[in-house]
C-alpha cells in the first residue's frame, strides 16, 4: 500500500476516521464498534488501534484518506439555525452555504436569533479542541438591550451565577452605551449571555459575535464567508494552545 502523504506519524483509529471527514471522533467510534471499519483487510473493533502512514483503511469497502483541511469564516445571519437537520420549515445555515460545505462542522454555535462569526471546517480534530472544556477560546459579543444597563449588573455578570450545574460568568464586560455592551466569554454554556441577562431582568434585542480567538468579522457582510489565510490558521492553533485553562467550579 502506498504511504499516505498527509500522515507523518501513527494516530488512533477514531482520530484517523475523523480526519477523513466521517464526523466527530465519538461518532467514528460507533462505526468501529459496529465492525464497519477494516484496516489492511481485517475488521477492527478496538479503539486502541493506531493507523500508520502505509495502512489501508476502509469503511463499507471504500478506502479512506484524510481530507485536505479547510477553514471557513462565516457571518451567520439572524433567523437561521446552527443545525445540519433542523425542524420542518426552519432554515439552517446549510441552506445558504455551498453544497461543498454541507459536511463541514460548525464551531461556535449561535442560536437562531443571534448573528455573527462562525467557523466552519472539515478538521474534526481542531473542532474538538475548540469545543473541549479545557480549551476556553475567548469569544467577543456586541449586545443590545431593551433597557439601560447598570454597574451593579456588570458586577453580577463578572461575579457569576449558577447555570446548568456550573458557575456561569463572563470574562469581561464593557458598557459601550447605556443599553449596549461588549462581552467576552471563555465558557461554552448554551444561550449563556441571553440567560444570564434574563436572570438580571434584561431583554436582549440584538446579539452579535464579532470574534472567536484571533478571528474577526472584519471585511465580511451578513451571509458572506471566506477561507482563512495560513497566518490566521496558525494564530488559531496558537490561541488553542494558549487557552488551556481550568474549568469553572461545578456544583
Residues recognised as catalytic: 111
* Alpha-carbon radius of gyration of the chain: 21
Torsion of CA 59, 65, 71, 72, to 10 degrees: -50
Give the integer Cα–Cα distance in Å for 2 and 54: 6
CA 121 to chain centre: 9
Q: For residue 15, what is its C-alpha cell? A: 482520530
181 - beta bridge partners?
Answer: 143, 175
Measure the N-to-C terminal CA separation of the chain; round to a whole number of Å: 52
Amino acid at each position: 500500500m502506498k504511504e499516505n502523504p498527509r500522515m507523518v506519524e501513527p494516530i488512533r483509529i477514531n482520530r484517523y476516521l475523523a480526519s477523513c471527514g466521517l464526523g466527530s471522533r465519538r461518532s467514528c467510534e460507533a462505526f468501529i464498534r459496529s465492525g464497519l471499519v477494516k484496516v489492511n483487510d481485517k475488521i477492527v473493533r478496538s479503539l486502541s488501534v493506531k493507523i500508520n502512514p502505509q495502512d489501508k483503511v476502509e469503511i463499507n469497502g471504500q478506502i479512506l484518506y484524510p481530507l485536505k483541511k479547510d477553514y471557513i469564516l462565516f457571518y451567520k445571519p439572524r433567523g437561521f439555525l446552527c443545525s445540519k437537520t433542523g425542524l420542518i420549515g426552519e432554515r439552517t445555515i446549510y441552506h445558504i452555504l455551498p453544497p461543498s460545505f454541507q459536511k463541514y462542522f460548525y464551531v461556535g454555535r449561535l442560536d437562531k436569533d443571534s448573528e455573527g462569526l462562525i467557523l466552519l471546517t472539515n478538521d474534526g480534530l481542531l473542532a474538538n479542541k475548540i469545543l473541549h472544556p479545557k480549551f476556553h477560546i475567548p469569544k467577543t459579543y456586541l449586545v443590545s438591550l431593551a433597557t439601560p444597563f447598570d454597574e451593579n449588573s456588570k458586577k453580577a455578570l463578572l461575579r457569576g451565577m449558577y447555570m446548568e450545574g456550573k458557575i456561569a460568568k463572563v470574562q469581561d464586560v464593557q458598557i459601550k452605551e447605556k443599553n449596549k455592551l461588549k462581552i467576552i466569554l471563555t465558557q461554552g454554556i448554551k444561550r449563556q449571555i441571553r440567560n444570564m441577562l434574563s436572570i438580571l431582568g434584561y431583554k436582549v434585542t440584538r446579539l452579535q459575535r464579532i470574534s472567536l480567538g484571533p478571528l474577526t468579522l472584519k471585511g465580511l457582510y451578513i451571509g458572506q464567508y471566506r477561507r482563512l489565510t495560513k497566518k490566521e490558521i496558525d494564530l488559531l492553533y496558537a490561541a488553542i494552545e494558549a487557552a488551556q485553562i481550568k474549568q469553572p467550579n461545578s456544583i
